[in-house]
Amino acid sequence: MHELVLGLAGRSYPITIGYDFLGSLNKVCPFITGKNVVVISNSTVSDLYLSLVTSSLDKTNSNNLVINLPEGEQEKKLSNVELIVSKMLEKNLDRSTVIIALGGGVIGDIAGFVASVYQRGIDFIQVPTTLLSQVDSSVGGKTGVNHFLGKNMIGSFYQPKAVVIDIKTLNTLNEREFSAGAAEIIKYGCIRDIRFFEWLEENSMSIMSKSLEHLAYAIRKSCEIKSSIVEQDERESGIRAILNFGHTFGHAIESGVGYGNWLHGEAVSSGMVLASRLSQKLDLLKEDEVIRIENLLESMNLPIDSPKLDISTFVNLMKKDKKNKNNRINYILLDGIGNSFVKGFIPEEISEFLAHV
């Protein structure tokens, strides 16, 4: 078992990474002892892991609550937030209640948002069960839901009390979801650490075969890189924006094809290729570097081509991105693999780029 600490003044929290220890959640997170607990999950994850999690809770507490939501990105909506809050209020749960987010990124985002707004804020624990949520969405305190006009447009920065990563849960993850999570791992090498990128090139087959040794290192390294960035810029006013490499294009792809048709990691993969090509267009990235990024993505069964979207629709969707400033669409570009920065473009420049990419 390995523990990192994401250090924030007064709100630091542990990220515990291990194998087959969900049944010991009360030992990893002793602060839940004696508390009312709300587990938010979906039926698939609950069938697999709920009994393990609840086995460590106080069984005499009749106020413990389990809420299973339907699956899919399309369920990240305000109506589900209201549903959860209503069930909690019906139980008369107070501000000492702890929420456990048991599932992937959708569950973590919704549960974290509920925790941030329920009676002005209660504690929550992230227990991510997908690769994408283990290496990205569970760490850093971004919570929220989608709006029909854009992804994650309603949300808050609200840090968990702890992140508990049990790698064994990946044994039941399907190949498509696993690959989608690998996109975020590759992202960290692209934006911050060329040596990690090179390690991924050398070990992609071991990761895809779910070698425990290689998976544990990839997850730990990803969490370390993200934590170091969040510690410098919790609320994304500066350097944290680089964590959105591929996401300006990616979020527009998700929205444009309809939430749930492309997984988040698949859209980010395609978005990273487009951002790499945009970097190449500005002579920041060499052709062979773009090809290396594409090859690494393909080695983990990720798409490198974009869906067929009308250019004006694509650009209009990106105009709604939260990172935009002064009527410019902001993208994360690479100045060589391992170095990244933010650059804004007027919409017409992006339309011209997409017409020729």
| pTM score above 0.85 | yes
Instruction: Give me Rg for the CA atoms of the chain.
Output: 20
Residues 179 and 156 reside in one and the same domain: no
Give the pLDDT score at 65.
Answer: 95
Residues 126 and 262 reside in one and the same domain: no
Pseudo-torsion of CA 114, 116, 122, 123, nearest 10°? 90
Residues 75 and 58 reside in one and the same domain: yes
Give the pLDDT score at 183.
Answer: 99
Residues 77 and 201 reside in one and the same domain: no
The predicted-structure confidence for 197-241, as pLDDT tens digits, reads as follows: 999 999 999 999 999 999 999 999 999 999 999 999 999 999 999
Q: How many C-beta neighbours within 10 Å does residue 170 have?
A: 21
* ∠ Cα 188 323 225 (to 5°): 20
Q: How many C-beta neighbours within 10 Å does residue 182 have?
A: 25
Residues 186 and 125 reside in one and the same domain: no
Going from the C-alpha of 23 to that of each of 55, 160, 336, the distances in angstroms are 6, 20, 44
Residues 258 and 293 reside in one and the same domain: yes
Query: Active-site positions?
Result: 120, 142, 184, 226, 236, 240, 244, 247, 251, 264
Task: Spell out the residues 6+ positions from residue 59 whose beta carbon is closer than 8 angstroms to its own.
Answer: none
Q: Are strands 150-157 and 142-147 parallel, antiparallel or unpaired?
A: antiparallel
Residues 180 and 168 reside in one and the same domain: no
Pseudo-torsion of CA 34, 39, 45, 49, nearest 10°? 10
In angstroms, the CA 131 to CA 168 distance is 11
Which is nearest to 232 in space by CA: 9, 4, 15? 9
Q: Is the CB of residue 6 less than 8 Å from the CB of residue 13?
A: yes
Report the Cα 280 to chain-centroid distance in Å. Answer: 27
CATH at residue 212:
1.20.1090.10
Residues 95 and 37 reside in one and the same domain: yes
As for how many domains the chain has, the answer is 2
Residues 184 and 218 reside in one and the same domain: yes
Structural domain boundaries, residue 235 = 175-356
Give the pLDDT score at 60.
Answer: 61
- List the chain pLDDT tens, one digit each, 357 residues: 999 999 998 899 999 999 999 999 989 999 998 899 999 999 999 999 999 999 888 766 778 999 999 998 899 999 999 999 999 999 999 999 999 999 999 999 999 999 999 999 999 999 999 999 999 999 999 999 999 888 888 999 999 999 999 999 999 999 999 999 999 999 999 999 999 999 999 999 999 999 999 999 999 999 999 999 999 999 999 999 999 999 999 999 999 998 889 999 999 999 999 999 999 999 999 999 999 999 999 999 999 999 989 999 999 999 988 888 888 999 999 999 999 999 999 999 999 999 998
Give the pLDDT score at 322.
Answer: 84
CATH at residue 29:
3.40.50.1970
Q: Which of 139, 157, 172 is the last residue of a domain?
A: 172
Residues 274 and 350 reside in one and the same domain: yes
Q: Which of 155, 172, 189 is the last residue of a domain?
A: 172
Backbone conformation region of residue 75, classed left if phi is above 0, alpha if psi is from -120 to 50, else beta: alpha
| DSSP category for residue 100 | E
Residues 106 and 199 reside in one and the same domain: no
Token pair, residue 76, equals 């990240």
Residues 197 and 240 reside in one and the same domain: yes
Q: Which of 172, 193, 209 is the last residue of a domain?
A: 172
Q: Whole-angstrom distance between the N-terminal and C-terminal Cα of the chain?
A: 45
